[in-house]
Amino acid sequence: MFIQVNSIRRLFPILHQEVNGNPLIYFDNAATTQKPQAVLDTLTYYYEKDNSNIHRGAHTLADRATRQFEETRESIRSFIGARESAEIIFTRGTTESINLVAKTYGAKYLQKGDEILISTLEHHSNIVPWQMLCDQSGAILKIIPISDTGELVWEEFERLLNPKTKLVSIVHASNALGTINPVKKIIEAAHAVGAKVLLDGAQSTSHLDVDVQALDCDFLVFSAHKLYGPTGLGVLYGKRELLEAMPPFLGGGEMIREVTFEKTTYNTIPFKFEAGTPSIAEVIAFKPALDFITSTGKANIHRHENDLLQYAVELLHDVKGVIPVGTAAEKIAVFSFNIQSMHPFDVGQLLDAKGIAVRTGHHCTQPLMQRLGLEGTVRASFAVYNTRAEVEVFAQAVAKIASLKNK
C-alpha cells in the first residue's frame, strides 16, 4: 500500500498556509508533529460538551470524560503491545517519564557503586536525570561510545556491561542523527547481566513498530506531540511487577487509597503515579492521533518517510559544501547536515525565508555534538504528510545557499 499523501495533507489544516510569502514546508517533525483535524476537533468537543474531572464524579459529564480518558489508555496499550492498560502511566512528556523512573525505581534500587549505561546519542532528558540520581546515590554513569557515522560501538557496549550494571537507558532512534539503535539486542544483553532497560521511544514510536512484549523492555517512554497528538502529554510504560514495587512519584489526589493524618495508603497502578488532575483533554484527543497512525499503517508511514529521506540524500549528495552529519545504515527520516563555513542558525534563517521550517542547533544533544566536533547542525525531519515535491524545493534552496558561500 502506498501513502495517498494528498489525501493525508487535507487532514492537517496548519499545512495550508504561506510563510514569508511561500507555501509552508514543515520539516521540523522531530521537534513536534502537526495535528490532524480530528485531534483539534476532539479537543474542542471535550471543552464544549464533556468538560469535567474524571474518575470521582457521579454525574454524566464525569462519566463520559472518564470513559474517553480510559479508552485512550487502552488504545496506547494496544499501540505498543503492553499486556494490560494498568501498565500505561500518563505524564507530561518523555522528560517527566524518565525523571519518574529515575526518582522512583532509581532512588529505591540503585546504590553506591552500581552502574548506569547510556549512549553518546542521548537527548539531555536521558542524561541529566541519571546524573542527578548518581549524585544522590553514588551510582556511576557510563557512556557507550559511537562511531563517526553515528552508530553505537557494539564491542564497547559489551565491554561496559558487567554485573554492576543495574540499568541501561537507551534511545531507540536518535533525534539529532536519526540513528536506529539495535534495541532488541541491547535489551537481551542487558538482561543477561541482570540489568533493567529503559527505552526512549520519543522518536521511534511515530516511525517504527514498537512492541514492548516482543522487545521485552522494562520501561518505554514517549510523548503524544511527536505522534500527531497534543502537547503536554507523555506516556510511561512499565512492567507491572516493577511499577508495583516502585514508590509514588508525586503525592496528592488520585494517587491515594486512604488518607489520615497518621498514614496514607497508596492507590493501585496506574493511578499511584498520576497525582492531581491530569491533562484530560489532551489524553482524550490523543486517541484520534493513534487511530490516524494505525489506520495509515506504521509500515506504510515508514516506507514513505524513508523514501523522502533517501530522496533528500540523493539530491544533496554532490552539492558542494553540504556536509551530511550522521550516516548510519539504519535511520528514521532525519537528515542532519551543515554547510561549509556557515553557522547552522544562518542556514535555518535563510530556509525560513523560503517558508521551509527546519531545526538548528545542538538539538538537546550537546555531548553528541562535542563528540562529533560540531557546534550544531541543520536538521530536516520528515513526516507522513511531507512530499517529494517539498524535498525538491528544500534541496534546491539548500544548494543555492551552499553555492553562495562556496563559490
Which residues does the annotation mark as catalytic? 364
Three-state SS at 227: coil
CA pair distance 129, 126, nearest whole angstrom:
7
* Residue listed under C-alpha cell 471535550: 46
From residue 270, alpha-carbon distances to 94, 205, 264, 273 in Å are 17, 21, 17, 6
Question: Minimal CA–CA distance to 81: which of 340, 298, 315?
Answer: 298
- Within a 10 A sphere around the Cβ of 202, how many other Cβ atoms? 27
Determine the residue type at 390: E
Q: Nearest to residue 226, comparing CAs of 286, 271, 169?
A: 286
Partner residues linked to 259 by β-bridges? 264
Joined together, the cell numbers standing for residue 133 give 540520581
Strands (E), 123-188: 140-144, 165-171
Q: Does a cis peptide bond (omega within 30 degrees of 0) precede residue 288?
A: no
Q: Which of 214, 215, 144, 155 is nearest to 179 (CA)?
A: 144
- Is the four-CA dihedral 204, 172, 82, 55 of positive or negative sign? negative
In which residue are the cell numbers 546524573 written? 131
The grid cell for 42 is 476532539
* Cβ contacts of 281 within 8 Å, gap of 6 or more: 43, 46, 47, 51, 230
236 DSSP β-pair partners: 89, 221
What is the distance between the alpha carbons of residues 221 and 99, in angstroms, rounded to a whole number? Answer: 10
Q: Could you tell me the strand order of the sheet in which 196-200 lies? A: 88-91, 234-238, 219-223, 196-200, 165-171, 115-119, 140-144
Closest CA to 29 of 371, 396, 390, 400: 390
What nine digits make up the cell of 395? 534541496
Task: Give Cβ neighbours of residue 20 (< 8 Å, ≥ 6 apart).
Answer: 352, 353, 354, 355
